[in-house]
Structure 1
Amino acid sequence: MQQTYDPSRHRQKRHRFPRPALAAATLALLGVAACGTSDHGTVEPELTAAQVCGSTLDSSAAAALRRVAGTDRFHELPGTDEAGQPNKFSLKLAAGSLHDDASKRNQCYVTKAEDKTGYPLIQVEFSAEKYHPKADMTSGGGATGKTPYPIGVYAETHERSSATIYFACPTRAPGKDASPTPTPYVRGYLFANSPKISPNTGEEDLMVILNPVARAMAKQLGCLSQANLPVHVPRV
């Protein structure tokens, strides 16, 4: 029997900056990291494509990220939040913040190592969702710019700017006042910063990057067997 993920048993309370303040704080933190140190004065290590997002990218996804970036040298958001939790992505923290406001979720925020602006190359986040869009595998993009994929219960790329996967995975919000009814879906979303990406980027690259991170999240949540997340992204 499928178990429902209860983050109250796996999380500590997190406090994240609101969106506008987060952007400013990100710039400040990455400005320090660009000089080679984090906010604690330690050297901020460079990461390869295979090491970002909690080392969840498989070989195909790592190759796709290198193609998107034009490099294999990256940073993630350094330092810690107000609760002392690392800003760097971890499956455990991301699973525990699925039901949080967007500004409080643990996210995979990736910049190119040589980029001093602090703005992301890609950003990946997960959230609990009650509903999902209706899949239409006949649309094939066209005027909408959206390309559907037979992944999860719904998946699409939007040109070279984003990839989205909804997959079946019941989770419960923490707290005594939360609804006892599980939230049935998890949404994985990848944003690609168009001015930062390589002209060699294909929109399928974004789905190839997001899918293994979503698989790792589904495994963390205990729902991989029902999530319909294939090892390899099918051609569309």
Structure 2
Amino acid sequence: MRVGRMIFGAIVGLLLSACGGNGELEQRITAAQQCDGTLSSEASRALETLLGTKKFDAAPLGGVGRGAEQLTGDYAERKRSSLHPPVCRVGGADSTDRIDITFGLYADRELFGDVHPDGLHAYELGREAQSGRQKAYLFVRCVSPQLEGTQKRAARIRGVLDFGGATLPDTPATREANLTVLHSVTLAVVKKLDCENNAGLPEKPVFKPKP
């Protein structure tokens, strides 16, 4: 019985240590640790603003890498358009609000072009970008040695941020915060794919609204 208590105590101690001040769990509940740690400092601050918190649910790992692999598979299968489960789901620790970020391939006909959907505003970023209070879209083209055939036909990659429970007002600051987060994760994905010139994305986005 005494040996059993000792083993139990050791297990409890290990669990407390793992979740303590310097444990992995605590590190992963900061904004900077969301989305596999792909968020820039600007994107981390934007995420805190959007969800109104500095403490987040512990996030699962590996989603961004999985998303890049799915895009590779889609292109190899010659899919024109695809969409997968979120590579990144972020939620405040004391809230039911969630931000989902998903990726897939798109066909040129799926670009917004001259269409201006209600609640979305166009920006000069990537091939095309749209952002609003609850949604953001970022379209890019990728030429990569990892994607055979892209020298002739670039892979068309679409990132989508969905924040259905958004309560912030529809202002330029809100739109740009959504697009800042989406840009940061998209940049990480195109880097994993080794896209030439990071698929045309700058390291730090400068938001210029389209007329």
TM-score, structure 1 as length reference: 0.61
Overall identity of the aligned pairs, in %:
29
130, 141, 151: which one pairs with 1:168? 141
* Partner Cα separation in structure 1 for residue 53 and residue 46 of structure 2: 11
* Partner Cα separation in structure 2 for residue 75 and residue 182 of structure 1: 40
* Partner Cα separation in structure 1 for residue 128 and residue 62 of structure 2: 24
Q: Does 2:150 align with 1:150?
A: no
Partner of 1:45, secondary structure, is helix
Q: Structure 1 residue 171: deviation in Å?
A: 7.3
Matches within 5 A, 1:180-195: 184-195=155-166
Q: List, as ranges, runs of 4+ consecutive aligned residues in structure 1 with deviation greater than 6 Å.
A: none
Q: Does 2:175 align with 1:203?
A: yes
Partner of 2:197, secondary structure, is helix
Supply the RMSD in Å over aligned alpha carbons: 3.2
* Partner Cα separation in structure 2 for residue 204 and residue 53 of structure 1: 18
| Residues 1:91 and 1:107: Cα distance change in structure 2 (over 3 Å) | closer
201, 205, 208: which one pairs with 1:232? 205
Q: Which residue of 2 aligns with 1:126?
A: 103
| Residues 1:74 and 1:224: Cα distance change in structure 2 (over 3 Å) | farther
| Residues 1:228 and 1:207: Cα distance change in structure 2 (over 3 Å) | same
Q: Is the 8 A contact 2:125 2:205 kept in 1?
A: no
98, 112, 125: which one pairs with 2:92? 112
Q: Structure 1 residue 145: deviation in Å?
A: 2.2
From the CA coordinates, give the structure whose radius of gyration is larger: 2
Deviates more, 1:207-216 or 1:125-134: 125-134
Q: Structure 1 residue 114: deviation in Å?
A: 1.8
Partner of 1:202, secondary structure, is helix
Q: Which residue of 2 aligns with 1:218?
A: 190
Partner of 1:68, secondary structure, is helix
Count of equivalent residues: 170
Q: Structure 1 residue 222: deviation in Å?
A: 0.9
Where in structure 2 are there 5+ consecutive unaligned residues?
1-17, 75-81
* Partner Cα separation in structure 2 for residue 149 and residue 76 of structure 1: 32
Q: Is the 8 A contact 1:122 1:192 kept in 2?
A: yes
Q: Is the 8 A contact 1:76 1:108 kept in 2?
A: no
Q: Is the 8 A contact 2:36 2:64 kept in 1?
A: yes
